[in-house]
A and B are shown apart, each in its own frame.
Chain A
Amino acid sequence: MSLLASFFRNPWGRPRWLAVITTIYIVWSIIPVSIAILFAFNASRSRSNFTGFSMRWFNGATGSAFHDEALRHALIHSLELAVLSVIVATPLGLFLALGLQRWRGRGAGMTNLLMLLPLVTPEIVMGVALLLLFISVFGFIGLGTTAQAIGQITFSLSYVVVIVRGRLVSIGKDYEEAAADLGAPPFDALRRVLLPLLGPAIIASAAIVFATSLDDFVITQYLSNGPDTQTVPMLLYSVSRGAPTPALNALATIALVITIGTLVAAFLVFRRFSSSGGQAATEIATLDL
């Protein structure tokens, strides 16, 4: 075993054993999901025995992801919530980021802290808090789509702020000042110089909001009120505790394709505008939790 030998000769110098661990890790992290995706194409009902390739769980006449009312509805509702979250959270977060980045004075520190809190609060705590809020103070809103959207916006807002602020720091004030020196009124400098420069960050944060909204389970579940407000993750959860068929895998696969598709598109846009692709990728990735 040359690998072990070289490892013992110089444990810290040679990266080969690290490469082995990394390879094992990657296989371990991706294979189970790949198998789950594979079973979406299973010809039989089984989710543990692959008997042949078929598309029946996607578009078959009965029990497939496209033809099962509940599955289809969950997908639509998930997308609806994701769009709502993007529409509200992106501008809200953008302005909060601008404000926090440049506002010097009383309250700035506290606001910053407030913005960071949702990032570190366990979802169940936020879920309980929002549930109790919507059945008491905001009883008139109640549970359902509105409450779910508000919940998702509340935790995704912080992602937008963090991404946009990162970009603001790297842009600096030079461009705006140059524009001002050339005679642009302040709001023109903001609108025509700063916002375009922030473009990639805005797109990236919109994508993150979209993806986290699609993936969210706890808060969305706590704030739901019935069959109309069931999302894909909620359905994955409830079906997986009941009698799942490969249609469940098919649905999860569709959701996965949408999430990854959104992020890849955002990544490509981000890379076009930003110098370092790798950095963009990690930036996108490390922000979510």
Chain B
Amino acid sequence: MERLEILELVLNAIEMTNNMREEDQQIPRESTTELYGNNGHLDSMGLVAFLIDVEESLLDEDLQITLSDERAMSQSKSPFRNVDTLVCYIDMLVKELPL
């Protein structure tokens, strides 16, 4: 899966999240959108729900990837900071998958 496709998948997950949110709480569908942490649009449970949507979308592409494991949590900079860092993290995990 190419990086641009991963970006599209993550942006679609944002859209799914937005469907459940009020008009004034919509998350911008952009690569620079802050997700979690300072200025992030998601609280901890919101992040969980969002990551599950992303994981489910990856499963639709036959990619079995766990995003919120110890590896993600132990990164000095969280991969969930913004859309770009998340896409980067998923791209790395996809490349590590056995062919």
Asked if chains A and B come from one complex, the reply is no
Interface residues of B (CB under 8 A from A): none
